[in-house]
Structure 1
C-alpha cells in the first residue's frame, strides 16, 4: 500500500515507465530476472542543494523523523514477519522495466553472500514472510553541497533484485554500506538485522547489533528515515517503525531519542532535490539517450552537461524543465549524438543568488 499523501513515488512511476526499457546490463549483471508484484568523474560530485528561490519547499532541519505515529499504516489481522530465509540470495544489476514496480528505475546493487542468520520462528502475532524474487528499494545518504544549514545529507533511492524475504534483504543491503554509486553511504554499516515483523500496523525491526557511532541530531534523523523508507518500501506498506535490539526497544539511536516509533517524513523534507533516474550509475545504453528523473527546482528550470570521461570533452549541454516548480515532479530530455565511450552526466541548478552550480546529481554511463 502506498501513502496517499506522498505523491513522489507515483510521479516517478508515471514518468519512468518508458525510460527504464532502455537498460542493457553491463557484463556480469545480465542475470537479473525480477518479478515484482503490483505496485568519472564529474566536475561537481553530488548532490542536492535547493537554490535560494526554492526555499518555499521547507528545510531539512525541520524533519519530524522521530515523531510518534499512532496508526498511520493499515492495520492487519495477520501480522507479517520478515527474517532470514533458509536460502536467500541478492543479485545485482539493472532490473528490466517490465518486472519493476510501475516505471521504477533500474539500479545495480552489490551482491551479498547468502544469509547465515538463524530461522525466525512464527509468533502468536504473525507468520514468517514468504521467500520471493522481486526488486526492492534501498535508500542511502548522499551529501549536500554549498549550504551550511540542514542535515548536510539527503536520501537517494536505488533498486536491488533480491531472492529471499524482501524487507530483511533490503535492510541487509542498506546496512552493508556497499552501494555501487560512490556518492552513497550508510551510517547503518556494521549493524546486523535479525528480523522484521509487522502486526496491528506497527513494523518492528529487530537488530542483533546496532551502530555505536554518535551523529548530529539532524543527521541521525536522516539515518532513521533511511531505515523507515527502506523497510516500508520493501514491504509495500506504511506505518510507524519500532527499532529493537534482541527484542528490547531502543531508546537512543545514533545519540538521539528513539523511544517512540519512527514515522515517515514527507519526501520534500528528506529526499534529494534532483534525482537522475535514468541512466543509472554504470548503465550501458545506446544513442539516442533519453534522460529522465525527478526534481524540485526553482522556476522548474534545470541544466545538464555530458562530458567524455577519457578526454574531458564537453559532448552536450543545455536546459530542461520539470513539470512544476518547487515540487518533486518529472523531467526528461533526449541526447541524440553520443559516440561509443564512457561519459559523466550532470543535472544541476544555477543559483540565482550568485550563479553557482548547485543541487548536482551525477551518473557515469557507457554508450555501446
Structure 2
C-alpha cells in the first residue's frame, strides 16, 4: 500500500481508465452467464458461505431476463486505459483506494482516458527486422496482463475466462507484458497461465499485423475451448500493452509458423481479438489487489457486466469468521461497467468476494475474490 498521496505513480493510477465503461460492451452472453464464473480456491482459502439462503436473498435483486449487447466493436479495449488527463470518478462517487503493489497494479476501473502515460522513450531507436518494426522502449509504464480463471459451475473442468491484472514495466511494453504472462506467477492464486515454458523473442509490427515471435512456444495440448481462451490471453495482453485492440496477432516460433498452438490453434494465420463477452469474466475486482494491506476504511472497485446492474458481495474475517453481505450497483446494467463500494473493517485478514446471480434461476455465477489485510 502506498500512503504517499503525491507519488507520481499514484497520480498516474488515479487518472486511469477514464472511458472504460463506454468502450467495453460484451456480446450476447445469456447462455453463458448462467454458468460463467471465476476459479474456485481450495476450501481453506474460500470461506464464502454462499448458501442457498444467500442465493435466494440475492435473487430478489437480480431475477429477470439478462440481455447483452452484440456487435463487431464488442471488445474490451483497455490498452489505453493506464493514464491520461481528466478527473477519475467511480460508479458511486467513492474515493479511490490506495495503489497496490507494482507487480499487479490495480488502477481504478471507473473511466479510461484515451492518452498513454507520459513516458520518455529510451535513447535506443527501434530498427526494422525481417518481421517488422519493434515497439519503442519506455522508462516506465503500466500494462494489462491477462490470466485464466476457471469457471465456477461449468460442466467442463477446463472451462476458463480471462481476468486482468496490471503490471508496471520498463523497456518494450508488449514484450514485457508477454514475458510476465509466460514466466511469472500471478499474485492471485485463483489465476493461472498455460503458457509456462514459452520464451518470447520479439513483438514487431508490419503491414497491419503484430507479430509475436517466440524462441519457444508452449508444448501443452489443450482441449479446443481452453486453447481458444488461452490464445486470447496472449491477444488481449499484447493488444492491451500496445493500446490497439484492432490489429490481429501473428504467432511465430523462431520466425516462422509453428503448426497448431496447444494442438488446436492454427498459427499460419493472424488471430483477431474475440468479443469480450465470449472470453472475458463478467466480474472483476480491480482494487484492492491480492494480499494488499489496507486501512480500516477500504474502497472495493471493479468492472462487471451485471444483470440489473447488481453486484453482490460477501466479506469474511478469516480469523473471527465475522461476515458482511450486501450488494452494489454498476454504473450501467447489461454491459461492462464500473462498480464501487466502501467497507469499514476491523484489523486482521479478510476475504472479499464479489459475485453475480443468475437472473434465470438465482444461482451464483461469476465470482472474483481477493484476500486483504486490514491494518
Residue in 2 aligned with 1:3?
none
- Structure 2 Cα separation of the partners of residues 102 and 34 of structure 1: 14
Measure the CA separation in 2 of the matches of 1:144 and 1:152: 6
Question: How do 1:99-110 residues align onto structure 2 when only pairs under 5 Å count?
Answer: 102=112
Aligned Cα RMSD in Å?
3.8
Shift of 1:257: 3.6
Deviation at 1:56, TM superposition (A): 3.3
Q: How does 1:53-68 map to 2 (within 5 A)?
A: 56-57=67-68
Is the CA contact (8 Å cut-off) linking 1:299 and 1:325 kept in structure 2? yes
User: What is the deviation of 1:55?
Assistant: 5.8
| Corresponding residue SS for 2:179 | helix
SS of residue paired to 2:67: helix
In the aligned structure 2, how far is the partner of 1:45 from the partner of 1:213? Answer: 36
Query: 1:344 is paired with a residue of what secondary structure?
Result: strand
1:170-228 per-residue CA deviation (whole Å, 9 max, x = no partner) reads: 10110014111101111111110011101222100001111111111111110111000
Q: 1:97 to 1:185 in 2, by over 3 A?
A: closer
> Residue 132 of structure 1 contacts residue 166 of structure 1 at CA under 8 Å; is this kept in 2?
no
1:146/1:103 CA distance change after superposition, 3 Å: farther
**Residue 352 of structure 1, CA deviation:** 4.7
Match of 1:81 in 2: none
Distance 1:225 1:97, change over 3 A: closer
Query: Does structure 2 retain, via aligned residues, the 8 Å contact 1:300–1:322?
Result: yes
Aligned to 2:269: 260
The TM-score with structure 2 as length reference comes to 0.68
Question: Cα gap change, 1:290/1:358 in structure 2, threshold over 3 Å: closer, same or farther?
Answer: same
The alpha-carbon distance between structure 1 residues 127 and 184, as it changes in their structure 2 partners (threshold 3 A), is closer
Query: Partner of 1:242 in structure 2?
Result: 250
CA distance in 2, matches of 1:198, 1:346: 40
Instruction: State the match for 1:13 in structure 2.
Output: none
Q: 2:264 aligned with 1:229, yes or no?
A: no
Structure 1, unaligned stretches of length 5 or more? 1-22, 66-90, 105-119
Distance 1:276 1:262, change over 3 A: same
| Separation in 1, partners of 2:339, 2:283 | 10
SS of residue in 2 equivalent to 1:248: coil
Structure 1's 128 and 139: CA in aligned 2 closer, same or farther, altered over 3 A? closer
Of stretches 318-327 and 223-232 in structure 1, the one that deviates more from structure 2 is: 318-327
Cα 1:197–1:243 shift into 2, 3 Å: same
Distance 1:304 1:344 in 2: 10
Identify the match of residue 202 of structure 1 among 205, 209, 214.
Answer: 209
Matched position secondary structure for 1:172: helix
Specify the alignment match of 1:164 in structure 2: 171
How many residue pairs were aligned?
A: 293
**Alignment match, 2:259:** 251
TM-score under structure 1 length normalisation: 0.69
Helix, strand or coil for the counterpart of 1:57?
Answer: coil
